[in-house]
Amino acid sequence: MSMQIIIGVIALCGAVICGIRWNRFMLRMIEEINQIKSPKDYVPYVTFSFLQMFRVRNEYRHLYPDGRLHVSMWRMCCLGMICLIVAYACLWGPVSLLIARV
Q: CA-CA distances (angstroms) from residue 82 to 10, 27, 59, 77, 89?
A: 12, 22, 27, 9, 11
What are the mean pLDDT values of the chain's consecutive 10-residue runs (102 residues total)? 84 95 92 88 79 86 89 92 92 64 52
Q: Containing domain of residue 79, as a range?
A: 3-101
22 alpha carbon, distance to own chain's centre:
4
Q: How far apart are CA 60 and CA 68, in angstroms?
A: 10
Q: Quick one: residue 29, left, alpha or beta (phi over 0 = left, psi -120 to 50 = alpha)? A: alpha
Q: What is the total count of domains within the chain? A: 1
pLDDT attached to residue 52:
82
Chain segment 16-40, per-residue pLDDT in tens: 999 999 999 999 999 999 998 888 8
Q: How far apart are CA 11 and CA 17, in angstroms?
A: 10
